[in-house]
Amino acid sequence: MIRSAEEQARLEAEALEAWARHHAFVLRMQAEGLLTAEQAAALGSEEARRMWLRTFLGTLGSW
């Protein structure tokens, strides 16, 4: 799927907002004892963020 630069920027901004909500959820799970600090750190790492954003952006075209 070919997107305009404007559309791509909008989707990337949407993805970053969704990541922020996801990360807040991970931290809440840690606070409630459902995740260890190590698990939360792994889920919030830069590598995890890049993987999550790539997957999120890749699935937008299939909706």
Strand, coil or helix: 34: coil
Please, which pLDDT band fits residue 1 given cuts at 50, 70 and 90?
low
pTM: predicted TM-score of the whole model, two decimal places:
0.76
The model's pLDDT over 27-48, given as tens digits with 9 standing for 90+, comes to 999 999 999 999 999 999 999 9
Distance of alpha carbon 9 from the chain centroid: 16
